[in-house]
Amino acid sequence: MSQITRSQHARFALIALLIGGAAIGGSPIFVRLSEVGPLATGFWRVSLALLPFLLISRVTKEADERPSGLRDYVVLLLPGAFLAIDLVAWHLSLHMTSVANATLLANLAPVFVTLGSWLVFRTRITPIFLTGLALALAGIVVLKGGPAAIGGGQLAGDATAIVAAIFYACYMLAIGHVRSRFSTLRIMVWTTFSAAICMLPIALFFEGSLMPVTLFGWAMVVGLAFISHVSGQGLVTYALAYLPTAFSSLTLLLQPVVAAILAWLVLSEPVGMMQAVGGLIVLAGILVARRG
């Protein structure tokens, strides 16, 4: 492949990454407006998204390597299991804390991507990274309103959002591992199928009711599936073929900005000065950490 072709692929991948990040950034609004519970909403997100992926796979010929053994199926299904846990934690946090807090803290994933790279691939962690991590943690304290407010009622929701960040980092690392062998479409089919299978019993056990009762309710879960998952996750997975995983996770910090703006416009959820300053400190900490 020529240098020009590689450059063009990288440019298209960056555009896809930005559009995908914005599409995923709108997902908290769909979750908050959904008629069914957060776990059922998460199930519909991945199960409805599976339909267009399967349809496209039927009409296109994939040139990538086909899974040939147990190990291949495991590495294709594992990202979906991580995604299911991420969605469970994140959708719960969206009902336990503000959209801005939940989305911002869930996007600590770049920090956990780097920590995961250190644990799995023995990537060296520098003092700059540790400085950025400390800055991000300080930002979280400011985001909560200072040390005196740490025990506030939204602390559990914020902690749940951080759990979501950990498992989204696992998802991105797993996707980055399999993306070198399998096509975007094949990965999305298998990971979405895996996430749906994992989420169905969880939603049934904890919530019971899965079905929206109005056209508006169905519109919310369909929009979440097609806009945020099919378009958002699909474009991000495509971009991971041409951009480094850590850089991709960093660019997805667009999500909390989009989510905060939409929450202000649609849900009338204000962003206070302390919350804005804390959010900026968290973003700065992540940026510093990635430079390290």
pLDDT in tens, 171-223: 888 887 787 778 878 888 899 999 999 999 999 999 988 999 999 999 999 99
The more confident residue out of 22 and 153 is 22
Using CA atoms, how far apart are residues 192 and 99, in angstroms rounded to an integer? 24
Which residue from 162, 167, 122, 125 is spatially nearest to 140, judged by alpha carbons? 162
The pLDDT confidence band at residue 1, using thresholds 50, 70 and 90, is very low
Instruction: Please give the model's pTM, rounded to 2 decimal places.
Output: 0.75
For residues 96-100, average pLDDT: 82
Q: Lowest mean pLDDT: which of 44-53, 144-153, 169-178? A: 144-153
> What is the DSSP secondary-structure string of 152-164?
STTHHHHHHHHHH
For residues 261-269, average pLDDT: 81
129: amino acid identity, one letter:
F
130: amino acid identity, one letter:
L
Q: Lowest mean pLDDT: which of 58-62, 121-125, 189-193, 199-203? A: 121-125
Share of the chain above pLDDT 70, in %: 85
CA 140 to chain centre: 19
